[in-house]
Structure 1
């Protein structure tokens, strides 16, 4: 693409200062032939100076609008927009909220569309299924572009981005219709419009007066903050706000949320990624319209009692940082979680506040005040451990959660403090996705009964990281959910539960720290699952002095993705002729001593293989890599060897 562009604009070696600008312009074109030719032809007639080319880069939206030589691009792109059916136009314009080159997660986008009311149930299909199809239709029309396909997604595409020039069309049309406004450095401060969606860029540094005067906050339907938090961003003037999306990793702390209960029309609330948030206020119970609460990646251990009032709630997403970091002294864990040393700090902050200044900088840029510290410890950390909680990373839910009859996604719930919560969950008969951690022998019988009762489950995650793990805890499942499509088992198993062989609709399976000792028997069971498409075997999922996997003829008929990460003592992975005929991606991460010639065999027998992903190729001996390349070269499908780190 760069060579074609150079030839179009007659760019030769005399203009090295233009190469950087040319690459930026090429990036905006993203391979769109019409844009390459038209913009290239336009620049060919312009002075070859970095200033002129930088001006086009920085003001391409205005140039498309005003420059007659570039009108053709805008006309064609507008035709693409005009040709969209009515139900896709609103979904497309909504993308103007997100910054340039921003990777937009499919689930985040679809959940926001749901909150905005962009669709309804159609002939038995849920709203989420309908809007998922809208997302895929925009992909099919090349209006949005899929990001790198993920091995973690059952749908294959879990994120997207917007072509830069198409994004300019979205921004232009959204502004015409007073739909989206972005607060950013240098933006006009005299809008005073009735904008429905406000996005705040990380580079905007205005004050509260500017914020409240720039537009009519009472008409806002959504607020999205991309960093540089200010407490006045949440205003009681936002009476009609439906979506509050604060997802990110910036300086949000507990006291910033004290007015959240005033947003009574809120349907979507995301605090995802804020490890310095420990507590959701009781006023959350005022949000009677709330459908989605996303507190994944926060330090919240317990949901307020008032949440049982939110009878329209459909999704509670809570997988805390403890899920990833098991050591309380890990520097990546917020300081307040590193017990017991920080418990003294918290107690003193609560009982002798005069010792501290009003603001405490305990880690990075997180700005806690005394009340934050007291709330985090007295309302969150201390009650959790006092009640017998032992698995930080999930969230404790109050008794009475069964009243949220509309719930279809609930994860990840910590059940280590008692089994009463399982009796509540058993009554949530509309649940499709469930995640539990803190499983042990004491609650295992109630757990198995709960799983058998939730016949509509499509996704199930079970996590127990104590020494005994899941061993012996899952054998009592008499009849697993018939439509189960995704299963994650994290923790010591020793052997696969027998009921797994009956999961005829299982598409995705993840095993982690399972330490399964019967290698051949387990692989044979998994190989007979007729619809298994993704198999992820991670972190000592198999154990023994020598671990070997033999993929036999006709086994794994639908497998597309195989991930083998950090399996200790792995000696061999072999594929017979006719095994895994649809396997497209094979990913391997191992210890340095595991990279031996002959570790993998039969790669030439995989007729659909496209990629072999190898972690840190520079770690690996040349002989190992060459042996892999030799096998891949014999494969008629021409798979490639890729590495990452």
Structure 2
């Protein structure tokens, strides 16, 4: 099908694929240009490109591999799509004039790790509908982004892990903001000096190093931002067409919470920085998002989400919420989760729930829950305890991802998981040998996946676990298969 699509696009002069090492032929009327360029291939020549392609007719540009500055021409005034996802070598100065592409509707810089900021000229793109700068080093969105009234999809994230990655490795006396900031500044100056005397890669110059440090690393340390989130400017409420927003750090700019209330068309929201100081305002904003279908909350570190999601009895979460992801220390499951009757997917990551029986009882009553992910550290510490899935619970669940590390027994009682088809088990096999029971009672199970890690001394325990699972599955009328990975 791929070859047929390429052939038809060539016949219709719809898409032109330029691959390094291949000579170009005249394509005057091409609308969509796709460039694949690598250091191993013969590089596309600037003169050859301009003479064979009428750049003024290009409406869409996609680049794979390595970036070359001449890929964007001043003649591309009617460009609507610019996709540079995972393109290597894109620098801040390459997108400085991005605001001149007034007809741009789609812009993706996802995975461009050398991009540390967006220029103010971004505000000129009044037709822009999609902006994806996820997995870059952009820490703060420009103020002019509030001019993009047609923007529907905004994704941005950065994972510096400043607090966890840097402070834990420093001596205790140096674990404060001033010391970390000073040390980072010295390292930045050293890096700039090193690049200026030619000790770094030729593609990385002093300007790139200094921009990356001054726009990302140093501000993140100075503000002590939580990992993943970016800072949004005031006035975000103007983006009334927005239906996807993530990941925004709400701990630094308090006005963002007031802006969130006005984004009534939001369907998907990802935020970080929820804490006890702003939790009430956040829950108030959350209650106002009546159209919200997907919510993701990220809060790393020891405090995490503990005590931040406790709401009053009258609090009403978005009734159409279908997907919920909570990442961070939670300790206790918020009571309002039991009200999410339309919830389809739930993931609890590093939540450290202490009362796992109470949590399982609440979740088991969610009538539309189809996918449940309980990965590593979802529970505080099982300490040889039991995970008991009682009769009549999880009636709609189809996929269960469960980390069994430290549990002595995992029981699937008869009458639970009536629709379960896929069971994904993972864990560290240590002194506590986990026993599973009731797999023969799962009426619709099709596949069980076992992903485990263990030291050589626990190899026999791992073998016994695998044999026990196979024995139970062999007694199941559906004859489900067992797939293993990891050290098995």
Cα pair 1:268 1:293 within 8 Å, conserved: yes
The change in CA–CA distance for 1:234 and 1:438 in structure 2 (over 3 A counts) is: same
The one of 475, 485, 488 equivalent to 1:644 is 485
Contact 1:359 1:367 in 2 (8 A): no
1:178-209: CA deviation from partner (whole Å, max 9, x where unpaired): 01111113434222321111111134512221
Match of 1:47 in 2: none
The match for 2:375 is: 538
Q: Is the CA contact 1:558–1:583 (under 8 Å) kept in the aligned structure 2? A: yes
> Structure 1 residues 595 and 561, CA, compared in 2 at 3 Å: closer, same or farther?
farther
Which of 290, 294, 317 pairs up with 2:132? 294
Q: Which residue, out of 428, 442, 449, partners 2:263?
A: 428
Q: SS where residue 363 of structure 2 aligns?
A: helix
Between Structure 1 and Structure 2, the one with more helix by share is 1
- Bigger share in strand: 2
Match of residue 612, structure 1, among 443, 448, 451: 448
CA–CA distance in 2 between the matches of 1:339 and 1:571? Answer: 46
Point out where structure 2 has 5 or more consecutive residues left out of the alignment: 170-179
Is 1:524 the counterpart of 2:361 in the alignment? yes
Q: Deviations over 1:295-318 (max 9, x none)?
A: 111121111111111111001111
The answer to whether the aligner puts 1:500 opposite 2:347 as a matched pair is: no
Q: Is the 8 A contact 1:632 1:639 kept in 2?
A: yes
Q: Kindly tell me: are residues 632 and 185 of structure 1, through their superposed partners in 2, closer, same or farther at Cα, counting changes over 3 Å?
A: same
Q: Normalization by structure 2: what TM-score?
A: 0.89
State the match for 2:463 in structure 1. Answer: 622
**Is the contact between residue 583 and residue 608 of structure 1 (CA under 8 Å) also seen in structure 2?**
yes
2:56 corresponds to 1:218: yes
CA pair 255-368 structure 1, distance change in 2 beyond 3 A = farther
Moved more, 201-210 or 615-624: 615-624
Shift of 1:253: 2.7
Superposed CA offset, 1:436-491 (max 9, x none): 10111111111111111111110011111131111111112611000000001111
1:229 equivalenced with 2:67 (yes/no): yes
Distance in 2 (CA, whole Å) between partners of 1:241 and 1:324 is 38
Q: Indicate the RMSD between aligned Cα atoms, in angstroms.
A: 2.5
Cα shift at 1:522: 0.6
Aligned length in residues: 465
The reply to whether residue 357 of structure 1 matches residue 196 of structure 2 is yes
Corresponding position of 1:453: 288
| TM-score normalised by the chain length of structure 1 | 0.68
Aligned to 2:278, the other structure's residue is in SS state: helix
Looking at structure 2, the residues matched to 281 and 271 of structure 1 have their Cα atoms a distance apart, in angstroms, of 13
Q: Establish whether residue 378 from structure 1 lines up as the match of residue 214 from structure 2.
A: yes
Report the equivalent of 1:85: none
* 1:493–1:294 distance in 2 versus 1, CA, 3 Å: same
State the distance in 2 between where 1:635 and 1:349 align.
62
The CA deviation at 1:614 is 1.5
Superimposed CA distance per residue, residues 21-51 of structure 1 (whole angstroms, 9 cap, x where no aligned partner): xxxxxxxxxxxxxxxxxxxxxxxxxxxxxxx
Taking the aligned partners of 1:431 and 1:314, their CA distance within structure 2 comes to: 9
**8 Å contact kept, 2:405–2:426:** no
Quick one: which of 400, 414, 419 aligns to 2:249? Answer: 414
Superimposed CA distance per residue, residues 143-184 of structure 1 (whole angstroms, 9 cap, x where no aligned partner) = xxxxxxxxxxxxxxxxxxxxxxx2221111111110111111
* Worse-superposed segment, 437-446 or 180-189: 180-189
Runs of 4+ in 1 over 6 A off after TM superposition: none
**Unaligned segments of structure 1, at least 5 residues:** 1-165, 332-337
Change (3 A) 1:267 1:228: same
Q: 2:26 matched to 1:191?
A: yes
Superposed, 1:215-614 pairs within 5 Å as 215-248=53-86, 250-322=88-160, 326-328=164-166, 341-347=183-189, 356-357=195-196, 361=200, 367-386=203-222, 388-476=223-311, 478-544=315-381, 545-565=383-403, 568-593=405-430, 596=433, 598=435, 600-614=436-450
CA contact (8 A) 2:311 2:336 kept: no
